[in-house]
Amino acid sequence: MAPGPPSQGHQVENKAFGGVLAKAPAPVRGVVDMRERGAVRVVPRRAVTIVIENEGFPLAYGVVANISASGACVWTDRRLQVGDSINLRLSFPREPQPIQASGRVIWGAQTDGGEASRYGLEWDAGSLPQRDRLKTLIEGSF
């Protein structure tokens, strides 16, 4: 499938997770297309929330737009910069314990005048000792 013009996204079929479709952003030079990623991203059916806990900053809250074993796209009111390291807790519906994770911001899209912005996070290698639990929760969240 050839990428559309920059103003359009394209649909990517997620066969590994029952055909769930995710709207992939239009390709941008230097950015990896969703079809070329190493892990399948899932758009949760129910809200997966996050708490960003960075030392020296107040807590910030957000919601996951899509998630995989290698990272996530999140909406938050915290202003982040590409390259920032973050610590967060992921809370899945009906799960008593959140998952602790750390990662870095690999891209950002701040909204015009809005209060929330969208960011792409990549989990730090080894930051998820509960990686198997995360995979199970991801599979159950669509």
90 occurs within a structural domain:
yes
Instruction: Select the more confidently predicted residue: 113 or 116.
Output: 116
Q: Mean pLDDT throughout 73-96?
A: 92
Q: How far apart are the first and last CA of the chain?
A: 25
The Cα–Cα gap between 48 and 34 comes to: 20
- Residue 2 tokens, joined: 């050839």
Q: What is the extent of the structural domain holding 71?
A: 40-139
Instruction: Select the more confidently predicted residue: 82 or 116.
Output: 82
For the question of whether the overall pTM of this predicted structure is more than 0.75, the answer is no
For the chain, what percent of residues have pLDDT higher than 90?
Answer: 37
Q: What's the whole-number average pLDDT of the chain?
A: 74
82 occurs within a structural domain:
yes
CATH of the domain at 106: 2.40.10.220
Q: Mean pLDDT throughout 68-73?
A: 91
Each residue's pLDDT tens digit, 14-65? 333 333 434 444 333 333 444 445 678 889 888 999 999 988 889 999 999 9
- E strand spans, the chain: 10-14, 20-24, 49-52, 60-67, 71-76, 85-91, 99-110, 117-123
The Cα–Cα gap between 137 and 126 comes to: 18
Which residues does residue 39 pair with via DSSP β-bridges, in sequence order?
A: none
4 occurs within a structural domain:
no
118 occurs within a structural domain:
yes
Q: Say yes or no to pLDDT of 95 above 60.
A: yes
8 occurs within a structural domain:
no
When divided into structural domains, the chain yields a total of 1
Please compute, for residue 112, the number of CA atoms within 13 A of its CA located in the half-sphere on the CB side: 0
For the chain, what percent of residues have pLDDT higher than 70?
Answer: 68
Number of H helices, E strands in the chain: 1, 8
The Cα–Cα gap between 76 and 87 comes to: 14
For residue 13, the model assigns a pLDDT of 39
